[in-house]
């Protein structure tokens, strides 16, 4: 069972059927939120198999740039870069690194129909020494002006669309590359699990009108009781001269003390009950 329209579901299926599992991108310490977001959006547009990244945990995406594209990209954080490259090369991927060097070739001379990992260096230092060490191809985008290179997000778009052109000409977008079980699992996540999680988060953050009203009521009662005690304490001297007023004073003091404790107890009870329900709510989601 899915919680999206038929049109939306068909769009999701089409994305997964055309996903280029053998075309992947690795952001080697790209730290600009703008570039990071633009790269994510282009990867989604070309429908790459997976986006790898490292040292990006504290960098926030700009949703105005990604336009939600990050929701549909398979991504993975690289902790051990040496292990990562050994693993990717053992799977038969060629590593293509963008680099200004003597033995670089035009980016259009690479055959991107092969299993390919495109490596993007950061904005200042370029690709890391480890990435260069494992590179099978070092590519450059020809520049005919004063600038020596393109912005990393622009370079990513240029190279990816050359890869897309080659793959489309070879018919690689016409047949699924992902295993059927991965497609089904991802559809369930996109069209059911993610929607349920989103609605539960919205429900948790939405204040309940009854509990909020009771909180306000008992908080007001608490304040009134405090003011009452202060009022009768102020006229203590007058109360001692008049026995009747003194009796009334004792009565009201007892009344306000009781009401004060009662209001405080109910307010704390409501707060505890509300927080307890939130904890249970979170536990249900995790389960």
Closest CA to 43 of 59, 64, 60, 67: 67
Residue 103: the pLDDT is: 84
Average pLDDT over the chain, rounded to an integer: 80
As its CATH architecture, domain 20-175 has: 3-Layer(aba) Sandwich (3.40)
pLDDT digits (tens, 9 = 90+) for 219-272: 666 666 666 656 555 555 555 555 555 555 555 566 566 666 666 666 565 555
Residue 220: the pLDDT is: 65
Residue 240 backbone dihedrals phi, psi, to 5 degrees:
-70, -25
Q: How far apart are CA 74 and CA 50, in angstroms?
A: 5
Residue 119: the pLDDT is: 97
Is pLDDT of 283 > 50?
Answer: no
Contact by Cβ (8 Å): 229, 249: no
Ramachandran bin of 92, using left for φ above 0, alpha for ψ from -120 to 50, beta for the remaining angles: left
Is pLDDT of 77 > 50?
Answer: yes
Helices (H), 91-208: 129-133, 152-169, 180-188, 194-205
Q: Where are the domains of the chain?
A: 20-175, 207-286
The contacts of residue 38 (CB under 8 Å, 6+ apart) are 65, 153, 154, 156, 157
Residue 152: the pLDDT is: 93
Contact by Cβ (8 Å): 44, 23: no
Distances in Å between the alpha carbon of 16 and those of 43, 85, 168, 181?
A: 14, 25, 16, 11
Contact by Cβ (8 Å): 107, 162: yes
Distances in Å between the alpha carbon of 116 and those of 111, 136, 178?
A: 9, 10, 16
Top-confidence range, 140-144, 216-220, 261-265, 279-283: 140-144
State the sign of the Cα–Cα–Cα–Cα dihedral 179, 80, 158, 133. negative
* Cα angle: 94, vertex 143, 50; to 5 degrees: 30
């Amino acid at each position: 069972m899915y919680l999206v329209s038929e049109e939306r579901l068909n769009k999701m299926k089409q994305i997964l059927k055309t996903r280029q599992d053998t075309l992947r991108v690795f952001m080697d310490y790209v730290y600009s939120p703008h570039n990071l977001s633009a790269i994510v959006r282009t990867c989604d547009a070309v429908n790459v198999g997976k986006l790898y990244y490292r040292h990006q945990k504290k960098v926030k995406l700009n949703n105005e740039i990604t336009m939600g594209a990050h929701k549909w990209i398979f991504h993975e954080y690289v902790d051990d870069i040496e292990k990562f490259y050994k693993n990717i090369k053992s799977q038969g991927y060629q590593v293509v690194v963008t680099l200004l060097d003597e033995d670089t070739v035009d980016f259009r001379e690479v055959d991107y129909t092969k299993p390919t990992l495109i490596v993007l260096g950061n904005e200042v230092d370029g690709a890391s020494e480890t990435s260069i060490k494992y590179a099978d191809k070092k590519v450059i985008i020809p520049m005919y002006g004063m600038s020596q290179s393109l912005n990393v997000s622009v370079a990513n778009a240029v190279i990816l669309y050359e890869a897309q052109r080659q793959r489309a000409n070879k018919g690689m977008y016409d047949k699924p590359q992902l295993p059927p079980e991965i497609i089904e699992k991802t559809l369930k996540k996109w069209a059911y699990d993610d929607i349920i999680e989103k609605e539960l988060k919205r429900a948790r953050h939405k204040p309940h009108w009854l509990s909020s009203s009771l909180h306000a009521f008992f908080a007001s009662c608490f304040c009134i009781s405090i003011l009452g005690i202060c009022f009768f304490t102020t006229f203590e001297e007058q109360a001692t001269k008049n026995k009747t007023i003194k009796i009334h004073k004792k009565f009201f003091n007892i009344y306000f003390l009781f009401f004060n404790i009662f209001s405080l107890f109910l307010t704390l009870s409501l707060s505890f009950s509300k927080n307890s329900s939130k904890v249970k709510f979170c536990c249900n989601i995790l389960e």
